[in-house]
Amino acid sequence: MVLLQRRAAALFLFAFIFLMPISHAHSREKTDIKTLVIVSHPYPERSVLTKGLQEAAESLEGVTVRNLETLYGYDTRRINGDAERKMMREHRRVVFIFPTHWFNITPMMKAWLNETWGSVGPGLWQGKEMFIVSTAAGGSSTYGPDGRIGGIACGCVFTDEGKRPACRYDVASSPDL
């Protein structure tokens, strides 16, 4: 029952991302935006919510899903930067799905970012609508307001104003869930 509830929550969350207005400038212009979903999870056999989000994304038309561990295993040197940049250029919206792993992105996601964008000049991410969906194993006793760790600000990795001007992507805001 819990698994079904988590998968339903994942589907709702993913649908919410695609049904909400992305930004004031873009929400009225395009409704058929091609979406690239980049998924990474270091322990996919333990994943519930990330797996549910990936399955939800795979069921949507106009969405391309790339699971980094499925494509490249766990070898960060195998990432094909040319192929990944081609995928980035073909899509207007990019969604990153990963668990917060030791208060950071996963090793494969970091390697993907380095290989795909790190050595490429400006423009690859320019004008993209980007979303970050990060999960964390543990309940409110760990991540709740009074939990052992407290809340995690997951979006800071990509929305840091110091990094944002270099890649010129749009930050899409959403209400607190």
**When comparing pLDDT for 118 and 22, which is higher?**
118
At residue 91, the pLDDT reads 94
26 or 44: which carries more pLDDT confidence?
44
Which of 64-68, 96-100, 143-147, 152-156 has maximum average pLDDT? 64-68
pTM for the whole structure: 0.72
User: Which pLDDT tens digit goes with each residue over 88-108?
Assistant: 999 999 999 999 877 789 999
176, pLDDT greater than 50 = no
pLDDT at 142 over 70: yes
Q: Which tokens in the block code for residue 8?
A: 């339903």
Q: Tokens 């993913």 label which residue?
A: 14
Per-residue model confidence (pLDDT) at position 72 = 96
- Which residue is associated with the tokens 């391309």? 64
Beta strand segments in the chain, E: 35-39, 63-67, 93-99, 129-135, 170-171
Higher pLDDT, 43 or 167: 43
Name the percent of the chain lying above pLDDT 70. Answer: 65
Sign of CA dihedral 54, 60, 65, 70: positive
Question: What domains does the chain contain, in order, with CATH numbers?
Answer: 2-18+34-171 (3.40.50.360)
- pLDDT at residue 25, rounded to an integer: 44
| CA–CA dist 75, 124 (Å, integer) | 24
Q: Between these two residues, 46 and 177, which has the higher pLDDT value?
A: 46
Distance in angstroms (rounded) separating the CA atoms of residues 59 and 174: 23
